[in-house]
Structure 1
Amino acid sequence: MSFDEDNSPFGAGVPSDVYQTSIREPVSLEVPEDVNPEAVQPNTSIENESPVNTPPNGPPLADWSSGISIIEAGKSTEGASRGYIAYTIKLGENTVRRRYSEFESLRSILSQIFPLLLIPPIPGKSFNLKLLATPPPNGVDTETKLVEQRKKMLQLFLKECLKMEQVRDTQVFHRFLDPNSNFNEDLRTGEITDLPLNPLCSNPFNGLDTYKNILYSYLPPEVHTTSMDLESLHLQQEDNTKQTSLYEYISLYTHIISSADLSFSHDFDKANKKVSTTARKLTDYYTQCGNSFNSFSLSEPGTELSLLLERIGTSYDQVYLIEEGFIEFIEKRFNDYWKFYLQCFGTIRDVLAFRELKGRQCEYIRSSLASKETAWQAFQKSDDESQRLTQAIRKSEGVASKHRLLLEPSLDVRFVPITVPNPPSKKKGAFSYSLSAFSKLKSTIADVITLQPELSREEQTAQLQTQINVLRQCLILAESDISKMDEFINEQFHLYHDEKLVFMRGLLREYCRHLVEVNEKCAEVWLETKAEIEGLGL
């Protein structure tokens, strides 16, 4: 299998919108003739049987979840004619340099291997980063700020990945963190080459285990889809409590995603921008006032008035530093973390879209099976009718032959027919011979086609029966996967709800606490200044 045919972000693999619902034409589900349906059994195990590997010269990855960090991000020209940004990852005693495209490839591969996991997002591309290789005179500070922000978000991505056991145990993740590994080459030669081209034809719990069950290769790669319908995401189980629980969480998270996007892009975003803009204007105002009072104090040295002006100028400098600290908290901590976890909620859309596609795939298999069974019944009915007509014709031919024997006169040797010589025929031309040859060829082809029509029909019937058996096995596999997918999604949503929403509430509380502390500190500075001025007796 070539690398471009594999699920590689560098080749022509699965497009980025593979999980997005779109309207596509249904495809036929054909099964090869040489498939033995009895030898194909669905594999319902969802356990990851891959051994847990550890990178060389280091402890298990679980021990590094708190210590992993990106310590540097800078220009590099190693192995490339043009410069690019390389991020130095430090975990334990090892360091490895990766570029942004390798982070992007890692997330793409992990999403294809584990389509049901909420893989954390990475920061999007920015065309301004291209300027860092050849920075303009006035753009260095802006580009450096963008790189630092991306470095922080990529570090969050790695920490979140290390919290997931399934991701932590994959060989591709170990290769990414291995300083002795060429990650791009590993994508071309490693276990990723075993991934199916389409996630709908892979094991939904671990795409690397797809080869263990041949039935996945017979699942339809495309299904006729429309917009997402929450009603189609019900659990197909007898336990009504689990159905209600999953449906409630799907509805809850759909509301959370829309409300979170709305609040950040409209209500809370506007409020946060107003607070940041006001704080920035205050720092500019405090800077101007501090410079003015300090200049006035220098014009009257050694007097009580100069001391008073100097104290007021110092107070403006202090509140300026307090406001700058609050702005730095908003820009470097709050905004980045808030956007990151909102993007984490956005990954739920991908999981729900994939679950919807799997549900529609199951319905498509069910409808294909029904059509094949209808065709099988039509075959059986036509065979029965054909056998009945054949028996009736044979019976009527037997009766007619008896009547011919009774009515046929006996042959008398006295009446011998006189043979008349044939008249001389004309000479046959080339055209007559060509017509004769064509007639022979036509007769030969007809004989080949109708040599054994019963055998051809038996082959068609056997092939149709094989397709029906394989479709039944595919339907069992799809229904089993969907049932376990619903349980997995339900459990994952509970954990995600408890972890991410609690963190975001804590982040909002920290925001409010910083805002209150800034105003309290500024008030304390001015109260102390007032007390000192009153102590001067002026």
Structure 2
Amino acid sequence: MSDYVAAPTRAKEDQGIIEHRRRMLGVFLNRCARMKQIRKDSVFLRFLDPNASWSEVLHSAPISGLPKHPLRAPPIDPARPSPAHQYLPIPPANAKLKHIPSPPTSPQDSRPSGFTHVRSLPSPSANLSEAELDPYFITYEGNTRAYETLLTSGVEKVNRRMLNRLSNLSTDLAELGARYNAFSLSEPAPTLGPAIEKVGQAVDSTYLATEELAAGLASGFTEPIRESAQFAGVVRNVLKYRMMKRVQEEITRDELAKAKMKLEQLEKSELEARRIEHYLAGSGVAAPPSVEAQRRNSESSLNQQQQGGGGGGGSRSSGDSDAGSVDSDFPPTHSSPMPPPISTTPVPYPQGPQQGGAGGVSPQHRKASSFSNPLSYPVSKIFGKLTHAVSGIVDADPETTRRNNIGKTRETLVQLEAALQVSGRDVEEAGKSVLADLHRFQAEKEEDMKKLMVNFAKCQIEWAKKNLDSWEEAKAEVDKITVR
């Protein structure tokens, strides 16, 4: 595989790598064919079809209908999620269950065996809740991780080192056999030369047997070890998926409880507000207007005063009342400070060509002069920004906001209830399916380990038999040597 990574073009022409791929593909297809769910799946059938385009398969149903996140899909048929699946929360990758009960112990669990954790798994027909299944799955996940580490970091590592040494040994034996054969040709003795040649042939036979041993161990021992380790990793991922489904159910239940509490508080606040309004209406006291209503009333009064001031003429008393109404309609935090009241005593003012016979200033000019301060525009600008900022923080209409929050919370409550229902169904389906697959995986793992050990022993026996036959022939020839 390292050769394939380093030089993929050359590796495609390497007969050893091609044979390795053919063997692994055959093992994969045979395992898929033994599983009924996969054997009848349309994607697997199209994968076996030589005329089907795999790119087209990946971009068509049912693969194209898979959700972006597997936790928002049903575990058995992920290509057909319900509308409620989109409301499921996505737990973090390192999330764990809050409470994990201890599994019940039995006398057989105390026996020192490498597979006692498998015997402690409940039967698929056992009627256990998901909370009761949690400790079994967690224990099995830990043992599967230890099994995977043992294979990858222990057995496979040592076996790879042994294969390298067998390969080096076969190379040395090939060179040694050639030297013995050359030496036999230079020996004139009638019995010594054939004996040396027979020893060289035995060394050559050992070289060939060692190469066959290395190849047999690579295909019959190393590849199954690596495959079993990969299956253990897949089992851990499946168990993690089931655990994430359980955590997702817990998070959904917690979010639903929070939404119910929030809705209860909002409805309580709404009931309290209505009770206060009913009390004020019964006592004859008007309810205080909202901030938004006060602002609208202020703006309408200001518009009326501006329209009245642009008329051009009017009595002095009407001008005073208009100015007073304009000043009184502004709220305390409006754009400019309140102008001083205009005196009713005529003030001497120079006569001009645009001024009437009366020696005073017209009411329209008085209203204009009350806002003609040079500092009024910057001050009004600053206060306008401040008013805008405060209005963004202060709720202008708390009653409408409260009712909107109640509506949104009720909608969220309906979504979470539907999500909790589908989450519970998904967890139940995942638990049953995972438990059945764990028993199937364990049976296949034990069968694979049995075949693996048998293959290892057969390779060693065949290697020893071939060496024994060749060296017995060499020994018989050596015994014929006569010493002069």
TM-score, with normalisation over the residues of structure 1? Answer: 0.60
1:45-444 to structure 2, matched below 5 A, reads 128-129=4-5, 131-133=7-9, 135=10, 145-210=16-81, 213-220=82-89, 222-226=90-94, 239=127, 247-248=135-136, 250-266=138-154, 268-300=155-187, 303-397=190-284, 422=318, 424-427=362-365
CA distance in 2, matches of 1:429, 1:523: 124
Q: State the partner residue of 1:522.
A: 467
Tell me if the contact between 2:97 and 2:247 (Cα under 8 Å) persists in the aligned partners: no
Aligned residue for 2:318, secondary structure, equals coil
Tell me if the contact between 1:249 and 1:493 (Cα under 8 Å) persists in the aligned partners: no
Q: State the partner residue of 1:468.
A: 413
CA distance in 2, matches of 1:431, 1:130: 88
CA distance in 2, matches of 1:223, 1:430: 67
Tell me if the contact between 2:75 and 2:429 (Cα under 8 Å) persists in the aligned partners: no
Aligned residue for 2:68, secondary structure, equals coil
CA drift at 1:290:
2.0
CA 1:518–1:215 in 2, change beyond 3 Å: closer, same or farther?
Answer: same
1:311 counterpart letter in structure 2: K
Q: State the partner residue of 1:508.
A: 453
CA drift at 1:184:
1.1
Aligned residue for 1:426, secondary structure, equals helix
1:391 counterpart letter in structure 2: H
CA distance in 2, matches of 1:378, 1:249: 40
Q: State the partner residue of 2:431.
A: 486
2:80 counterpart letter in structure 1: D
CA distance in 2, matches of 1:371, 1:494: 39
Q: Deviations over 1:415-442 (max 9, x none)?
A: xxxx99535521566998xx9xxx9xx9
List gaps (5 residues or longer) in structure 2. Answer: 104-124, 287-314, 320-361, 372-376, 378-383
CA distance in 2, matches of 1:526, 1:478: 69
Tell me if the contact between 2:252 and 2:419 (Cα under 8 Å) persists in the aligned partners: yes
Aligned residue for 2:166, secondary structure, equals helix
- What percentage of residue pairs aligned between the two structures are identical? 24
Q: Deviations over 1:196-218 (max 9, x none)?
A: 111111112111121xx211122
Aligned residue for 2:140, secondary structure, equals helix
TM-score, with normalisation over the residues of structure 2? Answer: 0.66
CA drift at 1:490:
1.0
Tell me if the contact between 2:101 and 2:132 (Cα under 8 Å) persists in the aligned partners: no
CA distance in 1, matches of 2:416, 2:21: 48
CA drift at 1:344:
1.1
CA 1:514–1:374 in 2, change beyond 3 Å: closer, same or farther?
Answer: same
Tell me if the contact between 1:234 and 1:247 (Cα under 8 Å) persists in the aligned partners: yes
2:419 counterpart letter in structure 1: C
Aligned residues: 377
Q: Deviations over 1:209-246 (max 9, x none)?
A: 21xx21112212x22442656965999x9955986666
Bigger Cα displacement from structure 2, 177-186 vs 354-363? 177-186
Tell me if the contact between 1:234 and 1:243 (Cα under 8 Å) persists in the aligned partners: no
Tell me if the contact between 1:233 and 1:356 (Cα under 8 Å) persists in the aligned partners: no
The structure that has the greater radius of gyration is 2
CA 1:184–1:532 in 2, change beyond 3 Å: closer, same or farther?
Answer: same
CA distance in 1, matches of 2:54, 2:128: 47
1:22-41 to structure 2, matched below 5 A, reads none
CA distance in 2, matches of 1:191, 1:510: 40
Q: State the partner residue of 2:109.
A: none
> Which structure shows the bigger proportion of residues in strand conformation?
1
State the superposition RMSD in angstroms: 4.1
CA drift at 1:471:
1.2
CA distance in 2, matches of 1:186, 1:331: 34
Q: State the partner residue of 2:335.
A: none
1:422 counterpart letter in structure 2: S
1:218 counterpart letter in structure 2: Y
2:83 counterpart letter in structure 1: I
Bigger Cα displacement from structure 2, 291-300 vs 527-536? 527-536
CA drift at 1:351:
1.0
